[in-house]
Structure 1
Amino acid sequence: MRKWWPLVAVCLGTFLFLLDTTVLSVVLPGTGEELDASLSALQWVANIYTLVLAVLMLTMGALVDRLGARTVYVVGLAVFGIASLVCGLAPDAGVLIAARGVQGIGGAAMAVTTFALIGSVYRGPDMGRAMGIFGAVTGLAAAVGPMLGGVLTQYLSWRAVFFLNLPLVAVTVALSLRVLAAGRPGTGRRIDLPGMAAFAACAGSLTYALTLAADEGWTSPAALGLLTLATLSLVVFTRIELRSGAPLLDVRLFSRASFSGVMMCVAASTAAFAALVYTSVWLQSGLGLGPVRAGLALMPLALASFATSLISGRRLHGRSPRAILATGLLLSGIGCALQAGLDADSSAGSLAAGLALTGIGVGLMGPAMGAAVFAALPPERGGMAAGAMTTFRQLGQTLGVAAFGLLFQHHGGAMSEGLNRVLIAAAATGIIGSALACAFVPKPAAAKATGTRPRNLTGSR
C-alpha cells in the first residue's frame, strides 16, 4: 500500500484542480444573485480561471525544469488554497474574478506536474495501473462537480464551494511533502517571458472582445480595438517564438497539417463543457430550479462520461486514436444537437438523452486525445505536444464560453431560444471536429509507431 501514497497525493491535487472547473456550472447563478453580477461578469468568473491556465501551462513546464516537479506542485497547491480562501470571502464580482485568476496560477502549476510526478515513481505494470486510476479520478471530478456544487450552494452557500478546498489543500500539501521525492532541480531552459506576455495579451484581449461584443456589438470601438490588439499580439508572439532559442511553443509545428488538425480537435472537444455554463443558467434562471435539482439535471452527462472513460480506458487501449477521437467528437456533437429544440414547455428532462450521449462522447475522447496528439509528432517532441494539448484545451473552453455568451444574450426572445443557439453551435463544433479527426489524425500504423507515452509530459521539451 505504501507505494501508492504518491499516486494518492497527485490524484488529490488533480481532483481539486478539475473540481473547480466543473463545479461552477451550477454555482454561477447563485453567485450572480448575491453579488449582483451581470452575465458578462459571471462569464469572467468562469473564463479567467481557464484563461490563466491556458496562458501559463507552457511556462509552468519550464519552471518544472528549473525547480523540480514536487516544488512546483506544492507551491501551486499553496497558491490555489490561498486564492480559494479569497474567493470564498469575495465581497464583489471584481474580487472574485481576480481571486479566480490567482487560482488559475496554482491550477496550472498542479496540472503540468501530474504526469512528471507519476512517471518519476511508477514503471511497467504499475504505471498502467496508476494511469488508469488517474483517469478515473478525472472522470470522478466531472461527475461529482455539478452535484457537489448544487448541494453546497443550496444548503450552505456558493462560498462553501471554495472553503471546501482549504482542508483538502492542507491534507494534500502535507501528504505530498511526506511521500513525493524532492528530486533534483535542473538548470532547465530559460523562461520565455516576452513570449508569455504576448500570448497572454492575445488570449486575454480576444476573450474580452468576445465578451464585450455581447453587450456593445462587434462594431463598438472597444471590441474592434481589442480584436486589433489580439491580432497584433499574435503576430508578435509568432515572431518571438520563431526567433527564440527556447520557445514556449515551437510555432513551426503548425506547418504540419496533422498537428494543426489535432490541435483544432482538442479545442473542439471543449465545446460541450463551455455550453454547460448556459445550460445551468437556463435550468436555474429559466426553469427556476434550485442548485441541487440543476446539478441532478446535469448528471447524465457526468455519469456517462465517467463510466465511458473507465471502460474505454481499459478496452480501447492501443486502438487507433483516429477512430476513437472522431467517434467521440461526433457523439458529443450529436448529443448537443439532441439537447436543442427547447421551447417554453421544455423541462430539465428534455436534456437527459442528449446529455448522456454527449457524456459518452466526452468519455471516449479523454483517453484518445493524448494518443492522437502524440501521434502527430515524433516522440522527441512529446513534451511540447503535451504542453500544446493542455494549452489548446483550456483556451478552447475559455473562448467557447465567451463566444457562446454572445449567442446566448442576442436571442431576441425567450431564454430557451438563446440556449438553442448555443447548443447548435456546440453541436456544429463537435461534428466539424470529428471531420478534422478523420482527415488529420495519423492513421493507425503511424499512431502505433509514435503513440507511446513520452518521457517528459510536463509541457517542456
Structure 2
Amino acid sequence: MTDTTQRWDARRRITLAAVCAATAMLMLDIAVVNTALPAISLDFAADLGGLKWVIDGYTLALASTVLSAGAWADRVGRRRVFTIGAVVFTASSVWCASADGMLLLNLARVAQGLGASLLFATSLALLANAFPAGRERATALAAYGATIGAAFAVGPLLGGVLTEWLDWRAIFLINVPVGLLMLIGVRWIDESRSASPRRGDWLGQLTAIVALAALTDGFFEAAEDGWSAPRTLVVFAVAGIAFVAFLIVEASVAEPMLPLGLFATRAFAGAQCATFAISASMFAVFVYVTLYLQGVLGMSPIEAGLVYLPGTAVMLIVAGATDRLMLLVAPRTLITTSLIAVAGGLAWMTIATVDGSGWNLVPGFLLSCIGAGVFNPVLSAVVLSESGADDLGLATGVNDVFRQSGIALGVAALGAVFPAQSAFVPDAAQEFTDALVVALWISCGVAAVGALVAAATLGRAVLGVPPSEESGRLTRTGSVGALPVVGSPRG
C-alpha cells in the first residue's frame, strides 16, 4: 500500500464524508429556507418580522452556543459531541416539519440551531485530526469548501422544487435520512480531545446569549417601530450592557469561553473580521433578494431557485479547485481579492427594478459567488493554521460564531431598511425594491470594509504544507504549532 493510499484510508474517507454531509445539511437549512419563506408566510399569515426569526432563530442559537460546544467537545470528545449534534438536529428537523404555527416553528428552529452548533464546532476539528497538514488537509478542506458551495448551488432550487411540488415542510424532512446516515457512519470516525480542555463558562455563555439576542431584536424593533422608539432604545441598551458584561467576564474568569488573547494574533483576528463581513453582506442580503424575486417579480419558488443556480454552481467549481491555489498564492491575496469580488457583485445587483426579470441579477450574483468560492476553503485553512492543534475546537468555534452571528445580525440590520409588509403587498412593490437596492449597497460596503481589513491584517497568515512540497514555492519555515508554512512572509 502506498503512502498516499494509507493517508486516504477508509476511516479518513468516512470522516470526510460525515463532516461534508453535516456541513451540507446545515448550510442547506439556510439556503432552502430562503425560497420557502413566502410559502411559510402564506400558510401562517406571517409578516416580514416573523419570517426573519425563521432565519435568525437558527443562526442566533448556533452563534451564541458554538463556543461552549467547542469547549465541551475538546473536553468530552469531538466525535461524541458530533454524534449528539446529529441526533438533536435530526429530531428538531422533524419538529420544524410538524409545526402548526410561527411560534412553534421558530422554537424548533432554535433547537435546530443548538444541534447545528454541536456539529459546526466539531466538523473542522475532526477533519484536522484525520488529515495531516499539507496537501492531504488542503484537499480535504477543498472538499469541505466545495460542499458549502454545493449546498448553496442546489439549496435554492431544491427548496423551490420541494416547496412548489410538495410542501414547505419537506425542506426540513430531507434532513432526516442524511442525519440517519451520519449516525451510522460516525462509528468509524476517530475520537479526539484536547490535552488541556477548558471548563464551562456559564456566566460568559449567558451574557453572550443576551447580547446577541437583544441586538438582533433591537434591529427588528427599529424596522417596526423606528430607531427612536422607547422599546428599541431599551433593547439596544440591554444589548450594550450585556456585551460589556461579556467582555468583563471573559477578561476576568480563569477559563473563558472566548479567550480574548486569541485576538492578539493579527491574522486570526483578521480572519474573523473577514468571515463576519462576507456573512453579514452576501449571505444575509440574499434573504431579501429571494423575497424580491418571489414577492415583487412574482417568480415561482422553482424560478427563483433557477436564478441562483448559475452562480452557486460556479461557487462549487471554484471552491473545489482551490486546493492547489492555496499552496501557490498568499492567503491575504486570495481572501482580499475574494471579498472585492463579493463587493463588486453586490454592487452590480443594485440594478434591480420593480419591473425587472430577475435574470438581470445573475451576472452580479455570479461574480459574488466566484469570490465566495475562493473565500470559504482559504479562510478555513487560515483558521486551522493560525490555531494550535490543542485549540482546534475552540478556534473553529470562534470562526463559526463570526460566521453565524454575521448572518443573524446582517439579516436583522438589513431588515431595518425594509417596511414589515412591503414584500407581500402589491402596492408596496416599489418601496420594497428601493429598500433592496439600499440593502445591496450597504452589503457592498460591508464586504469592501472586510477586504480592507483582510489586506491590513492577513500579511502574516500562513498555510501548512509538508516539507517535500516546499520546493519551487515562496516558503518560509516558521512556527504554526510545529508546521512548516507557506504564504506571504511574516514581517
Is 1:339 the equivalent of 2:349?
Answer: yes
Amino acid corresponding to residue 119 of structure 2 in structure 1: M
Scaled by the length of structure 2, what TM-score is found? 0.86
Match of 1:52 among 38, 61, 65: 61
Tell me the CA shift for residue 287 of structure 1: 0.7
Per the alignment, residue 10 of structure 2 pairs with 2
Alpha-carbon distance, 1:113 to partner: 1.2
What residue number does 1:218 align with?
Answer: 227
Partner of 1:160: 170
Other-structure match for 1:22: 31
Pairwise CA distance, 1:232? 0.6
Moved more, 269-278 or 17-26: 17-26
The CA distance in 2 between the partners of 1:223 and 1:66, in whole Å, is: 40
Determine the C-alpha separation between the residues in 2 that align with 1:261 and 1:431.
Answer: 14
Q: Does 1:401 align with 2:411?
A: yes
The structural deviation recorded for 1:180 is 2.1
Q: What is aligned with 1:148?
A: 158
Overall identity of the aligned pairs, in %: 31
2:215 aligns to what?
Answer: 206
Provide the residue aligned with 1:439 in structure 2. 456
Matched, 1:416 2:433: yes
RMSD: 2.6
Label 1:315 to 1:83 Cα distance change in 2 as closer, same or farther (>3 A): same
1:17 Cα deviation after fit:
1.4
Q: Residue 435 of structure 1 aligns to which amino acid in structure 2?
A: L
1:241-320 correspondence runs (5 A): 241-254=250-263, 259-270=268-279, 271-320=281-330
Distance 1:306 1:454, change over 3 A: farther
Q: Are 1:230 and 2:239 an aligned pair?
A: yes
Q: Normalising by structure 1, report the TM-score.
A: 0.91
Question: Which amino acid letter does the alignment assign opposite residue 246 of structure 2?
Answer: F
1:91 aligns with 2:119: no
Q: CA deviation at 1:408?
A: 2.5
SS at match of 1:102: helix
Q: Is the 8 A contact 1:279 1:419 kept in 2?
A: yes
Aligned match of 1:389: 399
CA distance in structure 2 between the aligned counterparts of 1:40 and 1:451, rounded to whole angstroms: 49
CA distance in 1: counterparts of 2:136 and 2:352, whole angstroms:
48
| Between 425-434 and 9-18, the greater mean CA deviation after superposition | 9-18
Contact 1:376 1:442 in 2 (8 A): no
**1:458 maps to what in 2?**
none
8 Å contact 1:382–1:454 — kept in the other structure? no
Question: Which letter maps to 2:441?
Answer: I
Q: 1: distance between equivalents of 2:41 and 2:477?
A: 50
Deviations 1:256-284 (A, max 9, x none): 66554443222111111101000000100
CA contact (8 A) 1:378 1:450 kept: no
Task: Quote the offset at 1:344 in angstroms.
Answer: 2.8
Give the direction of change, closer, same or farther, for the CA distance of 1:81–1:42 in structure 2 (3 Å limit).
Answer: same
Q: Distance in 2 between matches of 1:377 and 1:75?
A: 25
Shift of 1:245: 1.2
Instruction: Map Cα deviations across residues 153-181 of structure 1 (whole Å, 9 max, x no partner).
Output: 0000110001111122112112213x224
Q: Does 1:425 align with 2:442?
A: yes
User: Does the Cα contact within 8 Å between 1:67 and 1:186 map onto a contact in 2?
Assistant: no
Measured in 1, the distance between the counterparts of 2:332 and 2:461 equals 7
Gaps of 5+ in 2: 1-8, 423-427, 465-475, 484-491
Contact 1:300 / 1:359 at 8 angstroms: preserved in 2?
no
Deviation at 1:10, TM superposition (A): 2.4
Say whether the 8 Å CA contact 2:74–2:193 is kept in structure 1: no
**Deviating more after overlay: 137-146 vs 444-453:** 444-453
Q: Work out the CA distance in 2 between the residues paired with 1:261 and 1:347.
A: 38
CA contact (8 A) 2:278 2:339 kept: yes
Counterparts of 1:449 and 1:101 in 2: how far apart (Å)? 45
Tell me by how many angstroms 1:390 deviates. 1.5
Deviation, structure 1 residue 195? 0.3
CA contact (8 A) 1:27 1:158 kept: yes
8 A Cα contact 2:31 2:151, kept in partner: yes
Q: 1:169 to 1:210 in 2, by over 3 A?
A: same
Whether the 8 Å contact between 1:372 and 1:442 is mirrored in structure 2 is no
- Are 1:171 and 2:181 counterparts? yes
Is the 2:386–2:462 Cα contact (8 Å) retained in structure 1? no
SS at match of 2:356: coil
What is aligned with 2:473?
none
The superposition leaves residues 293-331 of structure 1 with CA deviations (integer Å, 9 ceiling, x where unpaired) of: 000011233112112111223323352111111111111
Residue 62 in structure 1 maps to residue 67 in structure 2: no
Change (3 A) 1:115 1:275: same
1:190-240, CA deviations, whole angstroms, 9 ceiling, x for partnerless residues? 110100100111011000100111000111111111111111101111111
Confirm whether residue 326 of structure 1 aligns to residue 343 of structure 2: no
Helix, strand or coil at the partner of 2:351: coil
